[in-house]
Amino acid sequence: MPSVWPLLPWYWPGNGWFDDGEDAAALARALGMGLRVKLKKILIYLAIACCNGTGDVLLKRGMEDLGAIHLSRWTHIFNAFLDPWIILGIIFLAGFFYSYLTALSWADLTYVLPATALGYVVTAFLSRVFLHEAVSPWRWAGVLLITCGVGLVARGPSLTEPRHSHTLPSAKEQHELV
Amino acid sequence: MNSFKLWIAIATLVLASSTGDVLLSAAMKRIGDLDEIRATKGLLAVIGRVIRERLFLLGLASLIFSFFCLLTALSWGDASLVAPASASLTFICSAILAKFFLHENVDRRRWISAALVCVGVLLLVK
């Protein structure tokens, strides 16, 4: 009677889901790495969105303390750098720029850009809760659309594979390897 | 005439900020994974490596230029028109530039997502 193990829809030695030469430890490592990459993607998306949105709201809160800037007294704007809300906002925006650059170092631009749009969603929530601004139904519809767009792209691959990465080494390279 | 001037400013702003994003992306791809550099050599090495990259400086200059274009456009037109129009157009423009200059695989999923985000940003001002 043939064994049913190879038919199981899960990783199992001998059912062709992975190379037979691979041992259980290598499989565990691969799964762990996949999980780590996934976690890294989620964390960087959250960092970009939260730092961007929070930074904007903090700047807005700080500028409320300062009042409107008039062109005739434009040096007034330097007082902004003394306001704790604005300093905090600038720190958050610096954090945004750092996480944005980090994300760009291992993901496509078209993958990272929607995350920056997620910052608008955070801004909408924070300005409702923290600044007590009215958020119209149209704006919530916009938030919903942005969230759908981000969710769509986030589920896809993060990096375009280089076109020649999987080709075999050339004869010269093979010779050098030997 | 005035609205023509305004749209020229918005177009310049959109082009400059998308170009800046594309240049930053190209610079970061050239540098490699920042997380790895930070883990092995520390944060200062990351900053040093990034600011010595010429493409990064070009991208930054482009983003600063786009910021001044934004200020100019804001002084000519309503904030409720300029900010969302430029932000949403930037998503589409960046996707196009990324496809042609970075050779990114912008498949149907990413086009739909860019369109959704673009419309969503426009709705935010309503």
Q: Which residues contact A75 (CB under 8 A, 6 or more apart)?
A: none
Q: What is chain B's mean pLDDT, rounded?
A: 88
> What average pLDDT does range B13-30 have in this prediction?
93
* Closest CA of chain A from B56, distance in Å: 10
Q: Which residues of chain B have a CB within 8 Å of the CB of A110?
A: 94-95, 98-99, 104, 106, 110, 114
pLDDT at residue B114 is higher than 60:
yes
Residue of B nearest to A124 (CA): B124
Minimal CA–CA distance to A147: which of A170, A116, A118? A118
Which of A112, A113, A165 has the highest number of chain B CBs within 10 A, making it the mutation to test binding with B? A113
Q: For residue B27, name the pLDDT band (cuts at 50, 70, 90).
A: very high
Taking the CA atoms of A34, A35, A38 and A44 in sequence, report the sign of the dihedral they define.
Answer: negative
Q: Which residues of chain B have a CB within 8 Å of the CB of A114?
A: 91, 113-114, 117
pLDDT at residue A7 is higher than 90:
no
Which of A39, A109, A146 has the highest number of chain B CBs within 10 A, making it the mutation to test binding with B? A109
Q: For residue A27, name the pLDDT band (cuts at 50, 70, 90).
A: low
Point out the least confidently predicted range of A97-101, A147-151, B55-59: A147-151
Taking the CA atoms of B31, B37, B38 and B43 in sequence, report the sign of the dihedral they define.
Answer: negative
- Predicted ipTM of the assembly: 0.86
pLDDT value of position B75: 80
A153 and B110 within 8 Å at the Cβ level: the answer is yes
* Closest CA of chain B from A58, distance in Å: 18
Report yes or no: B48 and B67 within 8 Å, Cβ to Cβ: no
Q: What is chain A's mean pLDDT, rounded?
A: 76
Q: Residue A139 to residues A107, B74, B92, B126: CA-CA distances in angstroms? A: 29, 21, 20, 6
Could you read off the pLDDT of A127-177 as tens digits, one per residue? 888 888 888 888 889 889 988 888 888 777 778 776 554 444 555 555 555
pLDDT at residue A3 is higher than 80:
no
